[in-house]
Amino acid sequence: MSTPTMNTLTPTAPLAPAAAASPLAGLLGPCLRGAVFVALVTGLAYPLLTTGVAQLVLPRQASGSLIEHGGAVVGSALIGQAFSGAGYFHPRPSATVGPDPQDASKSLAVPYNAGASGGSNQGPTNQGLIDSVTERAAAYRQTNGLAAGAAVPVDAVTASASGLDPHISVANAQAQAARVARSRGLDPAQVQRLLAAHTEPRVLGVLGEPRVHVLRLNMALDAVPAPAGQAPAALK
């Protein structure tokens, strides 16, 4: 690694005034070598070392916090997924899109597409946004048996930023609980207990918001044996 440049620059004093004469002298080589050197250190060594240590110490998180059920990967603990069955809690609206299987140059709505995160990016006075919220509110009231014109929790009718939000608000979950219990033929109190168990509190009491993890709650519901004479309606 020793370079002749070093030796010519340091000990020989007479060269210094010559170097000072042109501000460019002795800069081009170090700039080019510097780019390669810093690229190797920060773009290769650092991420690879971090990957090695992380995979060794925290392999589950480092590989995406995947949740397995019966030997198959059912999702990631951090990534939301779409639910529409009456026996499941429903997540927030998602604005993610995916390629149209008929015509790959076009895209269509694919909620919770974890291959292409996305928000609606509609501004506050956008007609399209207000129309969507109005439609979602009407659908939400109908699905959950709410009175016409009842105000709906705002997170239930607005698209998240990532389109992959794994959580809903407690208010949103409460509004859905009766419908889920009815659909599964479960005691509402039991659904409430599961809901409480899957409500995550604020971190350290102040950070973030209390929230319900939809995938975990729905998995817990699936784990409850269906009452006698009741078909498992969850997957309808």
Site residues (CB under 8 A) for another protein, limited to 163-182: 163-172, 174
Based on CB atoms, which residue is closest to another protein, 68 or 228?
Answer: 68
Q: Segment 89-128, which members bind another protein (CB under 8 A)? A: 92, 112-127
Q: Report the alpha-carbon angle 100-98-214, nearest 5.
A: 135
List the one residue from 26, 178, 192, 220 that touches another protein (CB under 8 A): 26
List the one residue from 12, 13, 21, 36 that touches another protein (CB under 8 A): 36
Based on CB atoms, which residue is closest to another protein, 117 or 190?
Answer: 117
Based on CB atoms, which residue is closest to another protein, 4 or 229?
Answer: 4
Tokens representing 119 are 């928000």
Q: How far is Cα 88 from Cα 156, in angstroms, rounded to an integer? A: 14
Alpha helices in 10-125 (DSSP H): 15-21, 28-38, 46-57, 59-62
List the one residue from 57, 104, 189, 228 that touches another protein (CB under 8 A): 57
Q: Segment 143-162, which members bind another protein (CB under 8 A)? A: 149-155, 157-162
H or E element in which residue 67 lies: strand 66-69
- Cβ proximity of 184 and 87 under 8 Å: yes
Q: How far is Cα 167 from Cα 117, in angstroms, rounded to an integer? A: 16
**Interface segment toward another protein; rule CB under 8 A; list 74-82, 101-109, 186-194, 225-233:** 74-82
Based on CB atoms, which residue is closest to another protein, 120 or 194?
Answer: 120
List the one residue from 18, 41, 109, 196 that touches another protein (CB under 8 A): 41
Based on CB atoms, which residue is closest to another protein, 163 or 191?
Answer: 163
**Interface segment toward another protein; rule CB under 8 A; list 24-32, 178-186, 187-195, 223-231:** 24-32
Name 224's Cβ contacts closer than 8 Å, sequence gap at least 6.
184, 186, 190, 194
**55 is a site residue for another protein (CB under 8 A):** yes
Size of the site for another protein (CB under 8 A): 123
Based on CB atoms, which residue is closest to another protein, 14 or 229?
Answer: 14
Q: Exposed (0-12), middle (13-18) or buried (19+): which is 42, by Cβ within 10 Å?
A: exposed
Q: How far is Cα 90 from Cα 40, in angstroms, rounded to an integer? A: 46
Q: How far is Cα 209 from Cα 215, in angstroms, rounded to an integer? A: 18
- Cβ proximity of 88 and 234 under 8 Å: yes
**77 is a site residue for another protein (CB under 8 A):** yes
Based on CB atoms, which residue is closest to another protein, 62 or 228?
Answer: 62
